[in-house]
Amino acid sequence: MKLLFTIQGGDFTRAGHPSSEVKKVLKQLDIDGKTIKNIVIALYEAEVNVVAHAWKGTVSVEIEENKITIWVSDEGPGIADIELAMQAGYSTASKEVREMGFGAGMGLPNMKKNTDELHIESEVGIGTKVKMVNYFS
């Protein structure tokens, strides 16, 4: 089954909506709590990244019998050095974003930690595409 959401850059009040909806569906499918938690954490981090850095984005989710695949795509500044961004603590978040309690540089590392597969494609000035896969036990 498929789910689709849009994310508005800069709107922190709505960050967390897609992850909550996905969680609700996974609970109804009786996926085990730990797997759901990993997926929700990874997706929430991805959402916050879009909100904090990009102008707008979409979350597209496909749930199959044994796995969930999530694509988060945005139109935004892109990531210049993905390897560097994957390091814990590295952040390009603005002062305003940090003051709101975000931008600690843990976004991508947390996504890596909580997914079975993570692919990131990015083009500076155009946007970023993230694909995350989690398998159900």
Partner 1 sequence: MSGLPNYHALKVDASKCIGCTHCMKACPTEAIRVIDGLAVIDHERCVDCGQCHRSCPTHAFYVEQDDLAKIKAFKYRVILFPSIMIGQFPEKYNETQIYSGLKKVGFTHVFEVEQPIQLLIDSVNEYLGNEENPKPAISTYCPAVVRLIQGRYPSLTENLILRKAPHDLAAHFAIERLLLEGAQREEIGLFYATPCIAKIASVKSPVGERESIVDGIVNMNHLYNEVMKVISEVEVEDNSVQRYNLSEEGILWSLTRGESRHFGSRSIAIDGIHNVVRFLERLENDQVKGVDFLELRACDQSCAGGILLTGNRFLTVEKLERRAKRYPSAKDISESTISVDIDELKQKLDIDSISPKPLFIFGKDRVKAMDKMTRAQRIVCSLPGIDCGACGAPNCHALAEDMVNRRAKMSDCIFLQQMWEDEGKITAGKAHLNVQKKWGTDRFKADCNKRGRRNEGF
Contact 53, 122 (CB under 8 A): no
The 10 Å CB-count burial string (b at 16+, else e) for 27-39 is eeeebeeebbebb
Q: Is 132 in the site for partner 1 (CB under 8 A)?
A: no
Instruction: Decide whether 62 or 75 has the Cβ nearer to partner 1.
Output: 62
| Choices 22-30, 52-60, 75-83, 84-92; region in contact with partner 1 by CB under 8 A | 22-30
Closest to 117 measured CA to CA, from 100, 128, 130: 130
- For 64-123, where are the E strands, in sequence order? 67-75, 117-123
Instruction: Decide whether 13 or 28 has the Cβ nearer to partner 1.
Output: 28
Instruction: Decide whether 42 or 79 has the Cβ nearer to partner 1.
Output: 42
Q: How near is the Cβ of 51 to partner 1 at its closest, in Å?
A: 14
Q: Is 106 in the site for partner 1 (CB under 8 A)?
A: no
Q: Is 19 in the site for partner 1 (CB under 8 A)?
A: yes
Binding partner 1 (rule: CB under 8 A), the pick from 36, 54, 61, 93 is 36
- Distance in angstroms (rounded) separating the CA atoms of residues 111 and 126: 22
Contact 130, 110 (CB under 8 A): no
Structure tokens at 13: 């009040």
Residues near partner 1, by CB under 8 A: 1, 16, 19-20, 23-25, 27-30, 33-34, 36-37, 40-41, 44, 63, 65, 136
